[in-house]
Copies of this chain bind each other. A is one copy, B any other.
């Protein structure tokens, strides 16, 4: 798991092949199957191990929203450290103990919130999703140039591109989004 994680951090999930991991461990590809049932199994273990890095969990003072925001920031940091984690979020596999512990802590933070359990599940999932969106947009950099495209067909795009570069008031986009999503999903006041 350590070897595979190091390789994924450096060169992405695609670099984590059974042969590469085995080579890093000084053995053959087939040997890994004494300890793992499949490559997906390895990926699951890596994901749960990384989820352990979310500790220590931010504790809720009297305001659950502030605690959830700190939790979201820790998630974002984790996704920055391990960009491949974002790709693993899509997969549907049984969550490991570390992931469950984190989820349990979130439920604990949300305990004073008067909302049904299902709503809290959805809110936590949506928060994780929003964090992953920000992580991904940070990774992918600027949105690719429009080279060799007839721009006359897209007037609004041209207008926006030629506008003033940026007045840059820019309050914290991440915090604002997470806050609005959580408040929108967990409180009656939309």
Identify the A interface with B (CB < 8 A).
Answer: 86-87, 90, 92-95, 97, 100-101, 103-105, 107-108, 111, 116-118, 120-122, 125-126, 129-130, 133, 136-137, 140-141, 143-147, 149, 153-157, 159-161, 163-164, 166-167, 169, 171, 173, 176-177, 179-181, 183-185, 190
Contact = CB atoms under 8 A, between A and B. Distances in A.
Nearest to A144: B94
Contact of A155 (B104, B143, B147, B177): B104
A107 B184 contact: no
Contacts of A103: 154, 157
A133 B177 CA distance: 15
Contacts of A90: 86-87, 136
A101 B104 CA distance: 44
Contact of A180 (B93, B133, B140, B190): B190
Contacts of A92: 140-141, 143-144
Contacts of A164: 116
Interface on chain A toward B: helix, strand, loop, or mixed SS? helix
A173 to B, nearest CB: 7
Contact of A101 (B129, B137, B153): B153
Contacts of A97: 149, 153
A106 to B, nearest CB: 8
Contacts of A183: 180
Contact of A118 (B87, B95, B137, B166): B166
A72 to B, nearest CB: 14
B176 A180 contact: no
Nearest to A179: B190
Given A103-B157, A126-B133, 11 more contacts: A104-B153, A104-B155, A104-B157, A107-B160, A116-B169, A125-B137, A130-B133, A171-B190, A176-B185, A180-B183, A180-B184
